[in-house]
Amino acid sequence: MRPLLTRWVLPGLLLAWAVSHAAVFGGDTREAKGGKSDLTPIERVRQSLDKPVTLDFTGQSLQEALQHLQTKTGLEFQLDSLALELMGLAPMMGDMNPVHLKSKGDKVSQVLRKVLAPQQLTYVIYEDSVLITSLDLATTRQLKQRVNLDVNEVPLQKALRDLGRTYAFNMVVDPKVSKDAQKAVSLQLEGASLETSVRLLAEIAGLKAVRMDNVLFVTTEERAEKIRKEEKELNPPDIGPDGLPMPPRGLRGAAVRVTFAPFGNVNRNLALPLPVAQPKR
């Protein structure tokens, strides 16, 4: 087991430096000129998460608690059934300990974190809803979501800003490549993953996109390679090469149907092939 300082603190310090010295996309909401709303569906979800809420509710399951929160806030919640199953959680069965929701004006996002943290769960904004998933799968769920892209002679920095704003993901441009980030890029994609879309845009501008926790960092090829090596050394051994946590041995190599269990009439399915264990040489 690697020392805690090496495994978690150092990557956090590196991310903090990158964010403080670079252009960050995906974390802001804004209003159009004249005071008219110019929010995307993702930004409306983020705005709802930032609103204060008053609660005093006890549910017999996580789903029941989330159902109450949905009624109070109007947010749509989805449960990542595969992540919950792999963690041994059954939020729909009512066999968990009672879940308490109590708030006197706290933000909805704060209430969610307090409820999910004891179960090692978190949430991400996925499409136009809030996806409840595991800490291990949260970033992967966002990066693997399918997007359509149509940019024509648009500066790379603007294209990344628009993607981050539309899909609620953090993208950071290395200040050392700010000039290259102004290069015009053109790209049309349909049904590509968010991560692939960002990597291709960066490639067209002569740059590289590398993942650092829940951030895509756009920088030079040399620096990206250095970061990849550091990330490989810091990642725990149970993380596969594609960023997915390795599943139990009995499930490796199988194609699993992932269901995002809705609280409405939404029905979303995602076929996710689990990584195959490599034979020992």
Contact 209, 224 (CB under 8 A): yes
Predicted pLDDT of residue 241: 52
Whether residues 132 and 164 share a domain: the answer is: no
pLDDT in tens, 129-170: 999 999 989 999 999 999 999 999 999 999 999 999 889 999
Could you tell me which residues come within 8 angstroms of residue 211 by beta carbon, excluding any fewer than 6 positions away? 139, 143, 195, 217, 231, 243
Model confidence at 128, pLDDT cuts 50, 70, 90, reads: confident
List the Cα angle 211/205/180 in 5-degree steps. Answer: 95
- 15 belongs to a structural domain: no
Residue 261, beta-bridge partner list: 79
Tally of domains within the chain: 2
**Three-state secondary structure of 171-215:** EEECHHHCCHHHCEEEEEEEEEEHHHHHHHHHHHCCCEEEEECCE
Examine the pLDDT at 244 and tell me if it is beyond 80.
Answer: no
Whether residues 135 and 178 share a domain: the answer is: no
Q: If DSSP codes are grouped into helix, strand and coil, which group holds residue 241?
A: coil
By CB atoms closer than 10 A (0-12, 13-18, 19+), residue 256 is middle
- 26 belongs to a structural domain: no
pLDDT in tens, 6-50: 343 444 444 444 444 455 555 544 444 444 457 788 889 999 999
Whether residues 65 and 131 share a domain: the answer is: yes
pLDDT in tens, 70-114: 999 999 999 998 888 888 876 554 556 788 999 999 999 999 999
Residue 180 tokens, joined: 């290259």
| Beta strand residue intervals within 204-254, DSSP E | 208-212, 215-219
Which among 197, 135, 126 is positioned nearest to 160, based on CA atoms? 197
Whether residues 197 and 224 share a domain: the answer is: yes
Tokens 């109007």 locate to 74
- 131 belongs to a structural domain: yes
Whether residues 101 and 131 share a domain: the answer is: yes
Contact 172, 18 (CB under 8 A): yes
- 5 belongs to a structural domain: no
pLDDT in tens, 86-97: 888 765 545 567
Residue 130 is inside which H or E element, if any? strand 129-134
Whether residues 102 and 195 share a domain: the answer is: no
Residue type, 246: M
Whether residues 80 and 170 share a domain: the answer is: no
Question: In the chain, what percentage of residues exceed pLDDT 70?
Answer: 68
Whether residues 125 and 153 share a domain: the answer is: no
Whether residues 47 and 115 share a domain: the answer is: yes
Give the integer Cα–Cα distance in Å for 187 and 118. Answer: 43
Could you tell me which residues come within 8 angstroms of residue 191 by beta carbon, excluding any fewer than 6 positions away? 146, 147, 148
- 94 belongs to a structural domain: yes
- 259 belongs to a structural domain: no
Whether residues 171 and 78 share a domain: the answer is: no
Predicted pLDDT of residue 86: 83
Whether residues 116 and 190 share a domain: the answer is: no
Give the number of other Cβ atoms within 10 Å of residue 62's Cβ: 24
Tokens 């020392």 locate to 3
Predicted pLDDT of residue 173: 96
Residue 147, beta-bridge partner list: 192
Predicted pLDDT of residue 243: 56
- 260 belongs to a structural domain: no
The domain of 226 spans 144-234
Predicted pLDDT of residue 172: 95
Whether residues 110 and 172 share a domain: the answer is: no
Last residue of a domain, one of 115, 141, 167: 141
Angle of helix 108-116 relative to helix 41-49, nearest 10 degrees, comes to: 80
Residue 20 is inside which H or E element, if any? helix 10-20
CATH of the domain at 222: 3.55.50.30
What is the C-alpha R_g of the chain?
Answer: 20
- 171 belongs to a structural domain: yes
List the Cα angle 127/131/133 in 5-degree steps. Answer: 140
